[in-house]
Amino acid sequence: MNKPRTVFVCQECGSQSPKWLGRCAECGAWNSLVEERAQESAAAAAGAHRYALSGPAGSARLYSEIAIEGSARLTTGIDEFDRVLGGGVVPGSLVLLGGEPGIGKSTLLLQAAANMARTIGPVLYSSGEESEHQIKSRGERLAVGKAPLYLLAETCLERILEEIERIKPSLVIVDSVQTVFSQKFQSAPGSIGQVREAATQLLFAAKGRNIPTFLVGHVTKDGSLAGPKALEHVVDTVLYFEGERHHSHRVVRAVKNRFGAISELGVFEMTSAGLRPVPNPSKMFLAERPSNAPGSAVLCSVEGSRPILVEVQALVSTSTYGTARRTASGIDQQRLALLLAVLEKRAGLNLIGDDVFVNIAGGMTVDEPASDLGVLAAVASSVRNRAIPLTTAMFGEVGLAGEVRGTAQAALRVREAAQMGFRRCLMPEANIVPADRDELAGECELVGIRTVGEALDHLLT
Ligand code: TYD
Ligand code: MG
- The CATH number given to whatever domain includes residue 180 is 3.40.50.300
Q: Do 291 and 274 share a structural domain?
A: no
Rounded to the nearest whole angstrom, what is the distance from the C-alpha of residue 273 to the centroid of ligand 1? 10
Q: Which of 21-25, 39-43, 76-80, 228-232 has the lowest mean pLDDT?
A: 39-43
Rounded to the nearest whole angstrom, what is the distance from the C-alpha of residue 256 to the centroid of ligand 1? 25
Residue closest via CA to ligand 1's atom 2 equals 104
* The predicted structure's pLDDT at residue 213: 96
DSSP letters for 144-158: -TT--EEEEE--BHH
Atom of ligand 1 nearest to the CA of 108: 2
Angstrom distance (rounded) from CA 233 to CA 259: 14
pLDDT band at 275 (very low <50, low <70, confident <90, very high): very high
CA 246, chain centre distance (Å) = 18
CA-based Rg of the chain, rounded to a whole angstrom? 26
* The predicted structure's pLDDT at residue 46: 45
**Does 57 map to a domain?**
no
DSSP letters for 403-428: BEEP-TTHHHHHHHHHHTT-SEEEEE
**Does 53 map to a domain?**
no
Among residues 296, 273, 286, the alpha carbon closest in space to that of 419 is found at: 286
The CATH number linked to 449 is 3.30.230.10
pLDDT band at 55 (very low <50, low <70, confident <90, very high): very low
Q: Do 90 and 32 share a structural domain?
A: no
* The predicted structure's pLDDT at residue 249: 84
- b/e map 72-101, b = 16+ CB within 10 Å: ebbbbbbebbbbbbbebbbbbbbbbbbbbe
Mean pLDDT of 426-435: 91
Number of Cβ atoms within 10 Å of the Cβ of 123: 27
**Is residue 360 classed as helix, strand or coil in its secondary structure?**
strand
In a 13 Å sphere around the CA of 368, the CA atoms on its Cβ side amount to 19
DSSP letters for 283-336: HHHTTTPPSS-TTEEEEEEEETTEEEEEEEEEEEEE-SSSSPPEEEESS-HHHH
User: Range of 137's domain?
Assistant: 73-279
- Confirm if 314 and 336 have CB atoms less than 8 A apart: no
- Decide whether any atom of ligand 1 lies within 6 Å of the 105 Cβ: yes
pLDDT digits (tens, 9 = 90+) for 80-102: 999 999 889 999 999 999 888 88
pLDDT digits (tens, 9 = 90+) for 195-209: 888 999 999 999 888
pLDDT digits (tens, 9 = 90+) for 354-369: 999 999 988 788 989 9
- Decide whether any atom of ligand 1 lies within 6 Å of the 109 Cβ: no
- Decide whether any atom of ligand 1 lies within 6 Å of the 138 Cβ: yes
* pTM: predicted TM-score of the whole model, two decimal places: 0.80
* The predicted structure's pLDDT at residue 239: 92
pLDDT band at 158 (very low <50, low <70, confident <90, very high): very high
**Does 132 map to a domain?**
yes
**Does 58 map to a domain?**
no
CB-based contacts of 268: which residues, under 8 Å, 6+ apart? Answer: 80, 104, 108, 249, 250, 251, 252, 275, 276, 277, 278
Measured from the alpha carbon of residue 270, the closest ligand is: 1
pLDDT band at 52 (very low <50, low <70, confident <90, very high): very low
**Does 51 map to a domain?**
no
Q: Do 371 and 264 share a structural domain?
A: no
Among residues 257, 264, 277, 255, the alpha carbon closest in space to that of 80 is found at: 277
Angstrom distance (rounded) from CA 291 to CA 373: 20
CA 324, chain centre distance (Å) = 32
The CATH number linked to 36 is 2.20.28
Domain termination site, one of 239, 262, 279: 279
- Decide whether any atom of ligand 1 lies within 6 Å of the 141 Cβ: yes
Q: What is the dihedral of CA 58, 61, 67, 71, to 10 degrees?
A: 30
Q: Do 360 and 384 share a structural domain?
A: yes
- Decide whether any atom of ligand 1 lies within 6 Å of the 96 Cβ: no
Rounded to the nearest whole angstrom, what is the distance from the C-alpha of residue 101 to the centroid of ligand 2? 7
Count up the domains in the chain and report the number.
Answer: 3
- Confirm if 86 and 212 have CB atoms less than 8 A apart: no
Q: Which of 202-211, 218-227, 377-386, 418-427 has the lowest mean pLDDT?
A: 218-227
Rounded to the nearest whole angstrom, what is the distance from the C-alpha of residue 107 to the centroid of ligand 1? 6
**Does 200 map to a domain?**
yes
CB-based contacts of 454: which residues, under 8 Å, 6+ apart? Answer: 404
338: amino acid identity, one letter: L
* The predicted structure's pLDDT at residue 43: 46
Give, for ligand 1, the residue of 100, 107, 131, 225 to mutate: max count of ligand atoms closer than 8 Å to Cβ.
Answer: 107
**Does 48 map to a domain?**
no
**Is residue 175 classed as helix, strand or coil in its secondary structure?**
strand
Higher pLDDT, 18 or 378: 378
> Which contiguous run of DSSP H or E holds residue 174?
strand 171-175
Is the confidence at residue 448, as pLDDT, over 90? yes
Q: Do 288 and 262 share a structural domain?
A: no
Domain termination site, one of 225, 246, 279: 279
Mean pLDDT of 225-250: 78
Q: Do 143 and 261 share a structural domain?
A: yes
- Decide whether any atom of ligand 1 lies within 6 Å of the 143 Cβ: no
pLDDT band at 36 (very low <50, low <70, confident <90, very high): confident
- Judging by DSSP bridges, how do beta strands 249-257 and 149-153 pair with one another? unpaired
Is the confidence at residue 71, as pLDDT, over 80? no
- Decide whether any atom of ligand 1 lies within 6 Å of the 128 Cβ: no
Rounded to the nearest whole angstrom, what is the distance from the C-alpha of residue 104 to the centroid of ligand 1? 5
* The predicted structure's pLDDT at residue 49: 46
Q: Do 82 and 227 share a structural domain?
A: yes
Strand partners, 36: 7
Q: Do 224 and 348 share a structural domain?
A: no
pLDDT band at 169 (very low <50, low <70, confident <90, very high): very high
36 burial via Cβ count (<10 Å: 0-12, 13-18, 19+): buried
Rounded to the nearest whole angstrom, what is the distance from the C-alpha of residue 137 to the centroid of ligand 1? 12
**Does 79 map to a domain?**
yes
pLDDT digits (tens, 9 = 90+) for 387-410: 999 999 999 999 999 999 999 999
pLDDT band at 153 (very low <50, low <70, confident <90, very high): very high
Report the percent of the chain where pLDDT is more than 90: 51
pLDDT band at 185 (very low <50, low <70, confident <90, very high): confident
* The predicted structure's pLDDT at residue 12: 77
Is the confidence at residue 288, as pLDDT, over 90? no
Q: Do 363 and 391 share a structural domain?
A: yes
For the chain, what is the mean pLDDT? 87
Q: Do 378 and 349 share a structural domain?
A: yes
Q: Do 169 and 242 share a structural domain?
A: yes
Q: Do 157 and 122 share a structural domain?
A: yes
Long-range contacts of 437-443 (CB under 8 A, 24+ apart): 440/414, 440/415, 443/418
